[in-house]
Amino acid sequence: MRKPFIAGNWKMYKSVAEARILARGLRAQLDAVSDREIAVCPPMTALVAVAEELKGSMIALGAQNAHWEKQGAFTGEVAAPMLAELGCRYVIVGHSERRQYFGETDETVNKRMQAVLSAGLVPIVCIGETLQEREAGATFSVIERQMKGGLKGLAAPTGIVIAYEPVWAIGTGKTATPDQAQEVHSHIRKLYAQTFGDAAAQQVRILYGGSVKPDNMSALMSQPDIDGGLVGGASLEADSFTKIVRYS
């Protein structure tokens, strides 16, 4: 019922020339895939080039952040309608690196998410606990707080994607076990149902992110509430991202 969705987060990697090569490589290997949705989120500087490379392909384009205003004196920021103009379909919102290094809060995540929706794009809203929070037994309460604050005022509950990304698993090589991830995914779906109803909760896609690799994707995807992956490091090479997308 929920089509698997795999998105690559290229973070602050790839020059324009490198991004073109990667996009071409992905297109060659993945354009025939139709039973899952695929997106790549290059750095801002490479969006135009990657949009050109992916024109007419099955692979969608995403950005890694968007400001909540449509325009204005916000040096260094980019507005959601500007991303729409470039052909983006998705925008990652509230990635833990933005929360950790750039002062992103549940409130700003919420504002960014609303702006992305207003621009007709699909936000991929990231949530997840730190190692300290997990060890303190606070995983569920952190998730609840991030969902309550981050998704506040969401009017059309079927237009977003949620990514559960335990902070301790991002870029560390430590993946959550499929059972650990499933436990939180199922809790997220339950919370979603409490606010938006069962039908919306059954439709919303919840991706897992945190050291997803070709050899752990199948086990993660065998869990009932894991609907895809948000992939960082392993999305930077065409072969490894292709293997992840083509998990069996």
Catalytic residues: 95, 165
- For 114-118, the CB contacts below 8 A with 24+ separation are 114/68, 114/153, 114/154, 115/66, 115/67, 115/68, 115/69, 115/70, 115/79, 115/80, 116/66, 116/80, 116/91, 117/154, 117/155, 117/156, 117/159, 117/160, 118/80
C-beta of 184 vs 212, nearer to ligand PEP = 212
235: Cα separation from own chain's centroid: 12
Determine, following the binding rule CB under 6 A, whether residue 170 of this chain makes contact with ligand PEP: yes
Measured from the CB of residue 189, what is the shortest distance to ligand PEP in angstroms? 20
Measured from the CB of residue 198, what is the shortest distance to ligand PEP in angstroms? 28
- In 3-state terms, what secondary structure has residue 5? strand
C-beta of 201 vs 220, nearer to ligand PEP = 220
Measured from the CB of residue 194, what is the shortest distance to ligand PEP in angstroms? 26
Determine, following the binding rule CB under 6 A, whether residue 209 of this chain makes contact with ligand PEP: yes
Give the sign of the dihedral formed by CA 128, CA 133, CA 135, CA 138.
negative
Of 22-30, 81-89, 148-156, 228-236: span binding ligand PEP (CB under 6 A): 228-236
C-beta of 59 vs 244, nearer to ligand PEP = 244
Q: Which residues contact 141 (CB under 8 A, 6 or more apart)?
A: none
Determine, following the binding rule CB under 6 A, whether residue 210 of this chain makes contact with ligand PEP: yes
CA distance 35 to 28: 17
Of 141-149, 154-162, 179-187, 204-212: span binding ligand PEP (CB under 6 A): 204-212
Measured from the CB of residue 206, what is the shortest distance to ligand PEP in angstroms? 14
**Cβ atoms 20, 53 nearer than 8 A:** yes
Residue ranges with strand state E in the chain: 5-9, 37-41, 59-63, 90-93, 122-127, 161-164, 205-209, 228-231
Determine, following the binding rule CB under 6 A, whether residue 40 of this chain makes contact with ligand PEP: no
Of 34-42, 52-60, 110-118, 232-240: span binding ligand PEP (CB under 6 A): 232-240
Strand partners, 205: 161
Of 51-59, 183-191, 197-205, 206-214: span binding ligand PEP (CB under 6 A): 206-214
Determine, following the binding rule CB under 6 A, whether residue 212 of this chain makes contact with ligand PEP: yes
CA distance 139 to 136: 8
Determine, following the binding rule CB under 6 A, whether residue 211 of this chain makes contact with ligand PEP: yes
Determine, following the binding rule CB under 6 A, whether residue 127 of this chain makes contact with ligand PEP: no
Measured from the CB of residue 196, what is the shortest distance to ligand PEP in angstroms? 24
Binding site for ligand PEP (CB under 6 A): 9, 11, 165, 170-171, 209-212, 230-234
